[in-house]
């Protein structure tokens, strides 16, 4: 059986040391900030995450773009020419057309490379939720699963990646149609923060609304306790959009209670950050599927 690689896209928001350690291949994605185009790579070679959030704070407007069919074909073809099979774990189809674009490209490549195996899996996840699923898949690969077994494992476990996050400025969600203009104005004035998660279709949903940073931290810890499975054996990811102090505070609470095996903090990159803005706080873990 041929060797294979796990591929994902730049929305997975994993730190470079994890990407390198597990040999995860990441397709970069494009953003546009006030008319200037950048490509977001995990190593931040074109624009740093810090610089991106500073631009937003200064009033810049950012837009994202999907990976093009040509970019997909070039990236995948380069791997196939090396004799590698591919398991591509895509950004949620409920939030982007990325999965469907990749699926069509892979159909063509399967005819071009009939001896290669190319799988495309809809993660139904976003940001560090996608990253957590990809990380667990990479761990399973290290345990010896072949590409067919791992594809089945991802399909069976993808809805166990539980996402919980809050945002500081509702106007970024308003631009994406997640809250109304009135909700954004009133919520920002009262410092009300929406609590968001994903549904079974991988779409973003507003679950509730809270007020105050302590309530945010309490909610994250409670969700971990309520929904997490075997959390004492888990490594969980805490994400933030230019909100490192609060991310560290959440990490310290979880560690002080000895709730999980380990934690690490990751920055939310420009692709997701365009839609959530500065101040976002997130936590993901493996847990119970939605009822």
Domain ranges of the chain: 4-159, 160-286
Burial of 188 (0-12, 13-18, 19+ CB in 10 A): middle
Assign 16 a pLDDT band (cuts: 50, 70, 90). Answer: very high
- Domain 4-159 matching CATH 1.10.287.70: the answer reads no
Residues 151 and 173: their CA atoms lie apart, in Å, by: 33
Q: Cα 73–76–78 angle (5° rounding)?
A: 105
Per-residue tokens: 11: 């929305």
How big, in percent rounded to 5, are the helix, strand and coil portions of the chain? Answer: 45, 25, 30
pTM above the 0.85 mark? Answer: yes
Flag whether pLDDT at 181 surpasses 50: no
Residue pair 195/164 in contact (Cβ under 8 Å)? The answer is yes
Helices (H), 119-166: 127-142, 147-157
Q: Which residue has the higher pLDDT, 291 or 9?
A: 9
Q: Per CATH, which fold does 160-286 belong to?
A: Hypothetical Protein Tm841; Chain: A;domain 3 (3.30.1180)
- For the stretch 43-84, pLDDT in tens is 999 999 999 999 999 999 999 999 999 999 999 999 999 999
């Amino acid at each position: 059986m041929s060797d294979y690689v796990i591929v994902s896209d730049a929305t997975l928001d994993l730190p470079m040391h994890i990407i390198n350690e597990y040999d995860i291949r990441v397709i970069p994605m494009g953003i546009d900030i006030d008319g200037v185009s950048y490509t977001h790579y995990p190593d931040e070679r074109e624009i740093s995450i810090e610089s991106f959030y500073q631009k937003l704070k200064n009033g810049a407007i950012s837009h994202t773009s999907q990976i093009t069919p040509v970019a997909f074909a070039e990236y995948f073809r380069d791997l196939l020419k090396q004799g590698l099979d591919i398991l591509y774990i895509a950004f949620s189809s409920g939030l982007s057309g990325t999965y469907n674009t990749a699926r069509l490209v892979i159909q063509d490549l399967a005819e071009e490379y009939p001896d290669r195996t190319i799988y495309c899996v809809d993660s139904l996840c976003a940001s560090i939720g996608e990253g957590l699923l990809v990380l667990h898949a990479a761990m399973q690969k290290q345990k010896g699963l072949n590409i067919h077994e791992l594809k089945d494992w991802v399909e069976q476990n993808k809805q166990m990646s539980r996402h919980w996050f809050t945002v500081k400025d509702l106007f970024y969600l308003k631009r994406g149609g997640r809250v109304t203009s009135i909700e954004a104005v009133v919520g920002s004035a009262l410092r009300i923060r929406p609590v968001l998660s994903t549904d079974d279709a991988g779409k973003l949903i507003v679950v509730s609304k809270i007020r105050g940073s302590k309530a945010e931290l309490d909610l994250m810890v409670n969700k971990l306790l309520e929904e997490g499975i075997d959390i004492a054996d888990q490594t969980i990811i805490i994400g933030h959009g230019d909100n490192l102090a609060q991310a560290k505070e959440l990490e310290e609470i979880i560690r002080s209670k000895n709730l999980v095996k380990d934690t690490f903090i990751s920055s939310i990159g420009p692709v997701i950050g365009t839609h959530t803005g500065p101040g976002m706080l997130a936590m993901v873990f493996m847990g119970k599927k939605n009822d």
